[in-house]
Amino acid sequence: MVEPEAYRDLSFWHDTVPDDLAPRDPLPGDLDADVAIIGGGLTGLWTAYYLLERDPALSIVVLEKHIVGFGASGRNGGWCSALFPASTAALERRHGLDAALAMRRAMIATVDEVGRVTAAEGIDCDFVKGGTISYARTAVQRAAASAEVAEAARYGVDAIERRADGGSFDPACARLHPAKLVRGLARVLEAKGVRLFEGTEVLDFAPRSVRTTRGRVRCDTVVVATEGYGATMRQTHRRVLPLYSLMIATEPLPDAVWSELGIEHGQTFADFRHLIVYGQRTADNRFAFGGRGAGYHWGSRIHPSYDRSPAVFTHLQRALEQLFPAASPLTVTHRWGGPLGVPRDWHAGASYDPATGIASAGGYVGDGLSTTNLAGRTLADLITGRDTDLTALPWVGHRSPDWEPEPLRFIGANLGTLAMRIADTEERVTKRPSLAARIMGPLVGH
């Protein structure tokens, strides 16, 4: 049994959430429910929330191995954005223009839906919709910004604009405190009668049955909501690849520094490099800043030691100080990370099979904070047999191919990260768009 205080070390967010993090009781033994949800992250909790809204009589249990918000939902960068892991152009190629635009509109509306529900339910999670600034520091990055703005204008759905400094601005993003959101949502659900069992590891699931370390749940519907951790379960082992994203948080900075940097409350920021970085100004005036670059681990292994990589933390601090020399040197107070879930084709999906009663959603890569909300509404419609605009979206029923067995998976995943690193160096040196990204990106699914 982990001491509640130990969960504080999971991230800056866990350290600052006004919650004692004491685990709720585990499953007390065998029981019956209408719906059993595997995983106490935002996919699972939003699904429970909207299921109850559709049918308040449903009995719902959530089965969580650690505590609610232990996974990516409690540790992320707090970008509640309209981003979807597959671009609009990729969605258009695969599903056609109308479907691609419907998906974009649904994602943009989802940012506001998270704001609406958190306000209505009194979940204080520092939600402020200030948009995303994407900086462009080189000619290559300015060209990428202009291509992004042109593409948005061509589709006519996203309101992305050019900034005077050559970067871009996307208004469809809110900054929030992820642990306050997921822990607050859990309390709302509990008050509505959802039973949350923590310290309960699911070992196996089958139609109408979930087997855990604490007993079995017989149910009509099983919702699989384990995202990157799906790699640790037999049935979903090759459906998703756990890729680590790591973050740092700094000491609070004076308001005057933020004014000089031109970052307002509620704003998030990034740039146009290939090996993604992302940041926000927190409600208490810190930088929370993250990025990819940590390696993939053989066999899709997940381990607490992988949450921390000194080399990646050093790279992140350097990248942040290069972006904001006026605020440097920066003092880092928190370092953490966690696994996100990558499907083989980088295309998230939400599905429900009425024959087996098994539903699932995930594969959001680094764009799950808002997408989990869309997943929750969509799964709720599918499970309660509704035919709606949401159930017609192109990600519904999408099945990504399985990842290759090892060693191909190991080689492919780590090659992908290496390719993005090489692409950034190449662009810095040649001052031209990277050939490595163009050639290797599609091969490794970027």
Ligand X SMILES: Cc1cc2nc3c(=O)[nH]c(=O)nc-3n(C[C@H](O)[C@H](O)[C@H](O)COP(=O)(O)OP(=O)(O)OC[C@H]3O[C@@H](n4cnc5c(N)ncnc54)[C@H](O)[C@@H]3O)c2cc1C
Minimum distance of ligand X from residue 431's CB (angstroms)? 30
First vs last Cα of the chain: how many Å apart?
39
Give me the least distance between CB of 262 and ligand X, in Å please. Answer: 20
Q: How far is the CB of 433 from ligand X (least distance, A)?
A: 26
Taking CB under 6 A as the binding criterion, the range among 51-59, 68-76, 95-103, 378-386 that sits at the site for ligand X is 68-76
Query: Binding segment for ligand X among 34-42, 145-153, 250-258, 314-322 (CB under 6 A)?
Result: 34-42
- Closest contact distance (angstroms) between CB of 383 and ligand X is 17
Closest among 17, 88, 18, 48 to 372, alpha carbons compared: 48
φ, ψ of residue 178 in degrees (nearest 5):
-60, -40
**Which is nearer to ligand X, 357 or 362 (by Cβ)?**
362
Q: By CB under 6 A, is residue 128 in contact with ligand X?
A: no
Q: Which of 36, 72, 248, 422 binds ligand X (CB under 6 A)?
A: 72
For the CB of residue 131, give the shortest distance to ligand X in the complex, in Å.
14
CB of 173 to ligand X, least distance (A): 9
Paired with 269 in beta bridges are 133, 279
Collapsed DSSP state (helix, strand, coil) of residue 4: helix
Burial 299-319 (b: 16+ CB within 10 A, else e): ebebeeebbebeebbebbbeb
DSSP 8-state assignment for residue 128: B
Of these, 26, 85, 131, 228, which contacts ligand X (CB under 6 A)? 228
**Applying CB under 6 A, does 420 fall inside the site for ligand X?**
no
- Binding residues among 325-384 for ligand X as defined by CB under 6 A: 337-338, 340, 362, 364, 366-370, 372
User: Which residues make Cβ contacts (< 8 Å) with residue 269, sequence separation at least 6?
Assistant: 132, 133, 134, 135, 263, 278, 279, 280, 323
Nearest residue to ligand X, scored by beta-carbon proximity: 368
Which of 48, 140, 174, 233 is in the footprint of ligand X by CB under 6 A?
A: 233
Q: Which residues contact 408 (CB under 8 A, 6 or more apart)?
A: none
Q: Which CB atom, from 41 or from 394, has the smaller least distance to ligand X?
A: 41
Q: Which two tokens stand for residue 253?
A: 């900075």
Sign of the torsion formed by the C-alpha atoms of 41, 47, 48 and 50: positive
What is the size of the binding site for ligand X (CB under 6 A)?
45
Determine if 290 is a binding residue for ligand X (CB under 6 A): yes
Q: Tell me whether residue 199 or residue 394 sits nearer to ligand X (CB atom).
A: 199
Among 23, 26, 39, 242, interactor with ligand X by CB under 6 A: 39
Q: Does 242 bind ligand X (CB under 6 A)?
A: no
By CB under 6 A, the residues from 266 to 285 that bind ligand X are 278
DSSP codes joined into one string, 5-58: GGGGGG-HHHHHSSS--PPPPPP-S-EEEEEEEE--SHHHHHHHHHHHHH-TT-
Q: How far is CA 259 from the centre of its chain?
A: 29
Structure tokens at 257: 């520094």
201 scored as a contact of ligand X (CB under 6 A): yes
Output 385 or 397, the one with its CB closest to ligand X: 397
Q: How far apart are CA 265 and CA 131, in angstroms?
A: 10
Q: Which residues contribute to the site for ligand X (CB under 6 A)?
A: 38-44, 63-66, 70-73, 75-79, 81, 201-202, 225-229, 232-233, 245, 247, 278, 290, 337-338, 340, 362, 364, 366-370, 372
